[in-house]
Amino acid sequence: MHEVHLVGHDDEIECFDAPEDGSALIATAALDRTVRVWDTATGDCVRTFAGMPAGTPRRGEAATPAAGCGG
């Protein structure tokens, strides 16, 4: 097992979710009002959704895709 650092959120991560099928992708949601999808094999952000409602993100809430994963 290797350690991967996921860098990209501008505030504290509130929750994360990983599929049960063993996929290398996980999703994180943070107080910066973004949800990011990560490739755990590389640590790369593969998608960012911005504009999440304020407060703790919840699964199924609407989000708007942001350009790139740089923030």
Check if the beta carbon of residue 21 is closer than 8 Å to that of residue 35: no
Task: Report the pLDDT averaged over residues 58-69.
Answer: 48
Domain residue limits, the chain: 1-54
Q: Kindly report the average pLDDT of the chain as a whole number.
A: 74
State how far the alpha carbon of 59 is from the alpha carbons of 2, 4, 70, in Å: 28, 24, 22
pLDDT tier, 67 (very low <50, low <70, confident <90, very high otherwise): very low
37-56 tens-digit pLDDT: 999 888 899 999 888 766 54
Strand partners, 56: none
